[in-house]
Amino acid sequence: MTATPVKPSPAGVPGALSDPARVAGEELTFAGAGGTHVNGYLARPVQSASPRPGFLVIHEAGGLNEHIRDVVNRFANLGYVSLGVDLYTREGGPPPIGDMQAVMKRLFAISDATVLGDLEGAADFLRARKDVTDKIGCIGFCMGGRYALLLAGASDRLSAAVDCWGGFIDKATPEADSTPERPTPPLQLADRLSCPLLAAVGAEDQNPSPQLAEQLRERAQKSGHEVKVDVYEGAGHAFFADYRPNYRPAPAALLWQEIVPFLKRHLQVS
């Protein structure tokens, strides 16, 4: 484990960390699928005398970048022991983000079973820490939103999940409903959620579309858990990513106002 200086958040972003001294950050590894060492960035609240809930942050296609690390810090500032998981550890890092063909090729080649094993390993790593309670939540963005939904539907590790515009939740690739790497679309697992779910979709997005969001709501409600699927007007894909042109400050702020009480209620953070 290597201590990492914590930076303040960009000014004005939802949940901004303005005082880095409130959070301690470190680089670490944990055991993922097959015992492989997976990289991660952990942030925890400094002023905490009692164990806190654990929280996973699952990155978008750009990987565990500065934006995702800042999001990890923001959740630590709320009182969670937060872990950003590097799902590209085995590949040595993310694909060239400017090359969309390379990005899609990489995403479709990663096995859902491997990702699920890595995320379960991350949850187990957090739960085993003395400063973490038995409550573990997660949030995922874009590709990470898909994996948050997969983890909530195929595993028992979570107490709450937030899916932010997870793409390809209803199919494996644009051409195939199922592939060996992605045999079961997460949407098909939504009726067996192991925890409450909050999902967010932009009204101008097509993957997932508002119509697909309605399918997710209908199927997830059959799980018996609390389910809330919100469609945000004036927003498209990745509207929370403040480093991208997709960023929409007003919808992003509204989303944060939904996330904070949802997690507090289900993870019992004080």
Query: Where exactly are the structural domains of the chain?
Result: 2-267
CA–CA dist 249, 241 (Å, integer): 9
| CATH domain 2-267 topology | Rossmann fold (3.40.50)
pLDDT digits (tens, 9 = 90+) for 168-177: 999 999 999 9
pLDDT digits (tens, 9 = 90+) for 172-217: 999 999 999 999 999 999 999 999 999 999 999 999 999 999 999 9
Mean pLDDT of 68-85: 98
Side chain identity, residue 129:
R
CA–CA dist 46, 120 (Å, integer): 26
CA–CA dist 269, 261 (Å, integer): 10
What pTM value is reported for the model? Answer: 0.97
